[in-house]
């Protein structure tokens, strides 16, 4: 059939089942059907995947076409006449289904997929209980070769969704069909156990499997959930889905939509709850930043909620020991001591650490508590340790310190510079979008990273710069772009200022000079610069590898300069995109849990803003000086200037640099109050420990890395006497004589929005209705702002600021000949408080390992698995060596998740002068052998290369 031309609007008209349907040109028949509510059965279809046409259930009749056509792979055309349920169509579907059922165990009452099984649903619909086709059935062993994914290929219908999602979405390709004909089945290379494949245990395959072939072991095997099994079994009896069954039983709310508490991607989760326990985790398809995809932490890392280690009662230290206390006692104790310190030494002797993990409402309440109730100017949180330079650098150049573009539009980029971001491990879901851009439209990725990270496999160019030389590298690229006339003259002229200064400064950074500093080949710098500058849409993605330096702010400014130089701001698929590491670090900054600003970045030194907040909070005045930062608070504590600290949901004893120094500081305090969900390394030093509710136990909002404000909803009750941070803070404020009328999350949000222009138009009502809103959203009807600086920069004109290369604070010498860098691994999260309490995760990643290059290891006589000692000027730790070619010579890498060998005992306390971020990424270190490993090769996987994908 030849398509007639459309009407110029890109839309076509066709008739399906006698209905006139209008759809965008290029849609498949299936897409048109779905858009018009016409039900066409499918088994191999998933919106996240390219059409496959394998299951033959979506066959439809198209007038004039020979035979039946699969709706999922046939493009809809102008004037087509389609019928989706003629006798011939239904008979063909029935036959296909019977063939599938003939080799599928139909004992649904015992199957864990019952009620969620697409085959079960269709078999019911077509009234098929048994197949007319009798023949040989497969008998495969059930595979439990890893802690997460159970594979029972007896239930497989060969739809290839697992194979395709692993390849098309995850970009890994663990599975493929092995064998041919009747023996064909999805499998791993050489039938290796999954832990020996590149599997990243994201569980995307489980999420797409239409039958019970792939199921999640942690949700099925940890303990029996008899009510769930009863309900599933009833689904088989009554022929309904599990959600329908639960609705019928009056428990519609058993699935709670909320936001993942791990990294800043902000994936949406559905927590299934029975008997006050989260029994399953899934993600809604095509909703939120993840679109139904999750990573190992999001999908399998929620066990910490019900951990028996949770704090359940307030603890007060008496004679050196923690003693259980009632809330009344604890609040009385805390308020008395806070008052004492304030009366004796003034309010600035108190300091508050807010948290990037708790909700916006709680952070807002905390800064209000600090400023209005305690009257101290000292409030900060761990954003200081991650993206303070982004806030400072981007505010200077653009006028707003957040990710300029949305996660969704990263997919549109033609080139992406990924610098200092191990995206697949620290922001796995954003990495999926970048991989998609590569796989779908040949986006050119430039990775700048000293380590051979997973993204290198998707990269067009890989620049392996020496740690701490980013400014030289970026200046070198800008030198080439200016030299070769590849810059965007029109953008520079109309949108920016200061270009001449930049031009002058980067003229010094010829590729040859940059090569000398960075160790990257001069021609490679040239090529990378050309690729970036000539792309129609080029985006920059960065993270801690850029910011955690004494030149962090300079690094960020250089990237902003590069984006402006090439006109890559304000459009889809462009921008400067700092990936924020924690679920609500963006929100905690937005809420004013910073020493210099109120919510919405309104300066505390601005008398008008100060008056506005003082009036709203019912106090005479608020501290008008900028307070101390995290790093400065510790120094001030040591000097005896800060005497009392109130820490909520932070663990500086693991996350801050040079933790021996932190310990001294915290021990020298007169009062340390820690409010957390676990007895963290920091809480152990506290005078009072207050048990808090986890994200699954309270209402609120998180703001993810792309400024998307999303709801957090209560799924279960907090354990024991644990209470939400909101309630604890309000109770303490009231005990101090301050009235907190807004105590519920929604009321607090409303108060915050009324004082915060960028959140002013956001309401719970809009969020609960399913709207996606990125701030700024200045008024109720405003749709939000996924892309910043579209017409003009927040500050008016974008400011080019030239920056010069400065060497890191500490460079290798004879005694400490190696450079040490720190970071995260995919499986673990931050200080390990949550992920290290997840059994499956600790099965595949049990302990810390020091990554070291083959050449260095050989020179020192170290083999993979040997126990080594790493020392720096601050201290030393012991851990197993992981000898890997992912590391260049002269560099070692240590993840900071493990309390038994904490990387931050080694890091440098020296800070960036502007943003006060410490230099986590560079320290001079020495490695020595402690003990050869017993079995030749060490733990883990027999080789330091480990699993090619996961654990990289």
Partner 1 sequence: MKEKVAGAIRQALESGRAGAVLFLAEEEGKLIPRLVRDAGDPAIERAYVGDKRFPASAFAAISLPAVDGVLAVVGRECDRRMMNELAKLNHLDLERVLLLGIPCSQELADACGCDHPVPPEPVAEAEVRPAEALDAPSRSMDIPERLAYWMDHFSRCIRCYGCRNSCPLCVCKDCALEREELAGKDCFPPDIPVFHIIRALDMADRCIDCGICELSCPADIPLRELYREVRGLFKEHFGYEPGISAEDRSPLSFLGEAADLGAHE
Extract the runs of DSSP E, i.e. beta strands, from 72-194: 81-83, 149-151, 176-178, 185-187
Nearer to partner 1, 249 or 859 (CB): 249
Give me Rg for the CA atoms of the chain: 29
Strands 867-871 and 923-931: antiparallel
Provide the minimum distance between the beta carbon of 230 and partner 1 in the complex, in angstroms, as a whole number. Answer: 5
Q: Contact 881/944 with Cβ under 8 angstroms? A: yes
Closest separation between CB of residue 238 and partner 1, Å? 5
Of the pair 232, 830, the CB lying nearest partner 1 is at 232
What stretch of H or E contains 349? none
The angle subtended at Cα 62 by Cα 57 and Cα 63, nearest 5°, is 155
For residue 152, the minimal CB distance to partner 1 (Å) is: 9
CA 598 to chain centre: 26
Nearest distance from C-beta of residue 226 to partner 1, angstroms: 5
Q: Taking the complex as a whole, how short is the minimal distance between the CB of residue 321 and partner 1, in angstroms?
A: 34
Nearer to partner 1, 154 or 479 (CB): 154
What SS3 class is residue 532?
A: helix
Would you call the peptide bond into 776 cis, given omega within 30 degrees of 0 as the criterion? yes
Q: How far is the CB of 407 from partner 1 (least distance, A)?
A: 35
Q: Which is nearer to partner 1, 50 or 142 (CB)?
A: 142
In 816-883, DSSP assigns E strands to 818-823, 849-852, 867-871, 876-883
Q: Which is nearer to partner 1, 144 or 854 (CB)?
A: 144
Q: Tokens 């990378």 identify what position? A: 528
Nearer to partner 1, 274 or 767 (CB): 274
Give whichever of 254 and 749 is closer to partner 1, judged by the CB atom: 254
**Alpha-carbon distance 276 to 265, whole Å?**
27
Full strand arrangement of the beta sheet holding 350-353: 321-324, 315-318, 688-691, 671-676, 644-648, 350-353, 379-380
* CA-to-CA separations, 472 to 498, 538, 567, in angstroms, rounded: 19, 20, 21
For partner 1, which is the closer residue by CB, 254 or 601? 254
Which one, 134 or 180, has the nearer CB to partner 1? 134
Min CB(136)–partner 1 separation in Å = 16
Secondary structure letter of residue 776 according to DSSP = P
Is 254 or 805 the residue whose CB approaches partner 1 more closely?
254
Contact 722, 311 (CB under 8 A): yes
Name the residue nearer to partner 1 (CB basis): 251 or 867.
Answer: 251
What tokens were used for 918?
């410490």
Q: Which is nearer to partner 1, 306 or 616 (CB)?
A: 306
Q: Helix (H, G, I), strand (E, B), or coil: what is residue 931?
A: strand
In the complex, which residues of this chain contact partner 1 (CB under 8 A)? 105-111, 141-142, 144, 221, 223-227, 229-234, 236-240, 244-246, 248-251, 253, 274-275
Residue ranges in 29-150 assigned as alpha helix (H): 29-35, 87-101, 118-125
Closest CA to 11 of 76, 88, 108: 76
Maximum C-alpha span of the chain: 91
**Tokens 């923690």 — which residue?**
322
Nearest to 371 by CA among 634, 602, 181, 173: 602
173 contacts 164 by C-beta, under 8 angstroms: no
Q: How far is the CB of 527 from partner 1 (least distance, A)?
A: 54
Closest contact distance (angstroms) between CB of 221 and partner 1 is 8
Smallest separation, CB 146 to partner 1 (Å): 15
Residues 6+ apart with CB under 8 A from 746: 699, 764
What token pair was written down for 780? 């109720």
The CA-atom distances, in angstroms, between 116 and each of 122, 130, 239, 295, 839 are 11, 19, 11, 21, 26
Give the phi and the psi of residue 186 in degrees, each rounded to 5. -65, 145
Distance of closest approach, residue 224 Cβ to partner 1, in angstroms:
5
Closest distance to partner 1 from the beta carbon of 250 (Å)? 3
Q: Least CB distance from residue 514 to partner 1, whole Å?
A: 59
Q: How far is the CB of 104 from partner 1 (least distance, A)?
A: 12
Q: Which is nearer to partner 1, 108 or 604 (CB)?
A: 108
Both structure tokens of 704: 């993810």
Token pair 């019970």 in the structure block, residue:
212
Residues in the chain: 952
Residues 6+ apart with CB under 8 A from 335: 732, 735, 736
Give me the least distance between CB of 108 and partner 1, in Å please: 8
Cα 320 to Cα 765: distance, rounded to the nearest angstrom: 48
The answer to whether 215 and 144 are in contact (CB under 8 A) is: no
109/621 with CB nearer partner 1: 109
Is the CB of 127 or the CB of 861 nearer to partner 1? 127
Nearer to partner 1, 244 or 780 (CB): 244
Nearest distance, CB of residue 696 and partner 1, angstroms: 16
């Amino acid at each position: 059939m030849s398509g007639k031309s459309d009407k110029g609007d890109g839309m076509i008209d066709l008739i399906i089942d006698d209905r006139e349907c209008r759809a965008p040109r290029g849609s498949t028949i299936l897409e048109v059907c779905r858009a018009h509510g016409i039900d066409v059965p499918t088994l191999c279809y998933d919106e996240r995947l390219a059409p496959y046409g394998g299951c033959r259930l979506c066959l439809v009749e198209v007038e004039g076409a020979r035979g039946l056509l699969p709706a999922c792979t046939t493009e809809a055309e102008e004037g087509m006449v389609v019928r989706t349920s003629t006798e011939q169509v239904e008979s063909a579907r029935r036959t296909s289904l019977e063939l599938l059922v003939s080799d599928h165990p139909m004992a649904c009452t015992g199957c864990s997929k019952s009620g969620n099984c697409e085959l079960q649903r269709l078999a019911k619909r077509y009234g098929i209980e048994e197949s007319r086709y009798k023949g040989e059935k497969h008998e495969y062993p059930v595979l439990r070769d890893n802690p997460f994914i159970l594979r029972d290929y007896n239930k497989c219908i060969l739809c290839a969704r697992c194979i395709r999602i692993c390849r098309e979405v995850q970009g890994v390709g663990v599975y493929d069909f092995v064998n041919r004909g009747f023996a064909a089945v999805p499998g791993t290379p050489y039938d290796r156990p999954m832990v020996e494949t590149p599997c990243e245990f994201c569980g995307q395959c489980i999420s797409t499997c239409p039958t019970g072939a792939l199921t999640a072991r942690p949700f099925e095997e940890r303990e029996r959930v008899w009510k769930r099994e009863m309900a599933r079994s009833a689904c088989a009896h009554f022929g309904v889905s599990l959600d329908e069954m639960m609705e019928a039983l009056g428990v519609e709310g058993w699935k709670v939509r909320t936001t993942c508490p791990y990294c800043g991607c902000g994936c949406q989760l559905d927590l299934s709850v029975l008997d006050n326990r989260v029994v399953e985790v899934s993600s809604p398809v095509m909703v939120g930043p993840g679109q139904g995809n999750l990573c190992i932490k999001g999908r399998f890392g929620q066990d910490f909620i019900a951990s028996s280690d949770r704090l359940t009662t307030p603890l007060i230290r008496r004679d050196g020991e923690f003693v259980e206390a009632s809330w009344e006692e604890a609040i009385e104790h805390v308020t008395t001591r806070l008052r004492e310190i304030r009366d004796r030494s003034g309010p600035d002797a108190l300091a508050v650490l807010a948290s990037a993990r708790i909700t916006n409402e709680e952070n807002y309440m905390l800064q209000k508590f600090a400023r209005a109730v305690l009257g101290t100017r000292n409030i900060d949180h761990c954003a200081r340790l991650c993206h303070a330079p982004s806030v400072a650098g981007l505010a200077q150049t653009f006028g707003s310190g957040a990710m300029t573009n949305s996660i969704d539009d990263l997919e549109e980029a033609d080139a992406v510079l990924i610098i200092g971001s191990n995206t697949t491990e620290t922001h796995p879901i954003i990495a999926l979008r970048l991989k998609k851009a590569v796989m779908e439209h040949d986006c050119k990725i430039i990775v700048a990273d000293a380590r051979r990270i997973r993204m290198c496999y998707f990269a067009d160019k890989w620049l392996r710069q020496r740690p701490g030389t980013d400014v030289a590298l970026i200046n070198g690229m800008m030198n080439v772009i200016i030299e070769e006339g590849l810059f965007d003259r029109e953008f520079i002229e109309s949108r920016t200022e200061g270009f001449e200064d930049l031009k002058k400064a980067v003229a010094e950074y010829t590729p040859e000079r940059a090569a000398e500093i960075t160790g990257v080949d001069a021609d490679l710098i040239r090529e990378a610069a050309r690729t970036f500058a000539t792309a129609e849409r080029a985006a920059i993605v960065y993270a801690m590898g850029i910011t955690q330096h004494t030149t962090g702010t300079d690094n960020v400014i250089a990237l902003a300069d590069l984006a402006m130089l090439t006109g890559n701001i304000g459009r889809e698929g462009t921008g400067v995109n700092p990936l924020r590491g924690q679920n609500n670090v963006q929100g905690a900054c937005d809420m004013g849990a910073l020493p210099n600003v109120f919510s919405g970045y309104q300066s505390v030194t601005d008398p008008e803003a100060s008056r506005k907040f003082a009036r709203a909070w019912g106090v005479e005045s608020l501290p008008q000086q900028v307070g101390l930062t995290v790093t400065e608070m510790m120094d001030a504590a040591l000097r005896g200037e800060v005497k009392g600290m109130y820490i909520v949901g932070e663990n500086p004893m693991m996350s801050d640099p040079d933790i021996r120094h932190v310990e001294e500081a915290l021990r020298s305090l007169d009062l340390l109050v820690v409010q957390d969900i676990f007895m963290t390394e920091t809480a152990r030093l506290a005078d009072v420990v207050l048990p808090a509710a986890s994200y699954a136990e309270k209402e609120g909002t998180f703001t993810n890395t792309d400024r998307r404000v999303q709801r957090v909803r209560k799924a279960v009750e907090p354990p024991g006497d644990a209470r939400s941070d909101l309630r604890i803070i309000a109770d303490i404020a009231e005990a101090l004589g301050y009235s907190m009328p807004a105590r519920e999350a929604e009321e607090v949000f409303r108060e915050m929005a009324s004082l915060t222009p960028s959140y002013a138009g956001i309401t719970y009502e809009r969020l609960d209705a399913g709207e996606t809103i990125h701030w700024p959203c200045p008024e109720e009807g405003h749709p939000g702002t996924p892309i910043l600086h579209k017409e003009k920069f927040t500050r008016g004109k974008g400011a080019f600021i030239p920056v010069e290369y400065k060497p890191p604070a500490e460079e290798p010498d004879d005694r400490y000949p190696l450079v040490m860098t720190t970071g995260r691994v995919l499986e673990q999260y931050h200080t390990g408080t949550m992920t290290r309490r997840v059994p499956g995760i600790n099965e595949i990643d049990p302990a810390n390992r020091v990554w070291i290059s083959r050449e260095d290891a050989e020179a020192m006589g170290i083999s993979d698995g040997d126990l080594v000692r790493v020392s720096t000027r601050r201290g030393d730790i012991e851990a197993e060596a992981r000898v890997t070619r992912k590391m260049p010579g002269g560099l070692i890498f240590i993840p900071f998740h493990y309390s038994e060998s904490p990387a931050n005992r080694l890091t440098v306390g020296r800070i960036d002068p502007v943003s006060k971020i410490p230099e986590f990424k560079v320290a001079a270190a020495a490695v020595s052998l402690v003990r050869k490993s017993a079995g030749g090769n060490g733990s883990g996987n027999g080789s330091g290369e480990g699993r090619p994908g996961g654990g990289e």
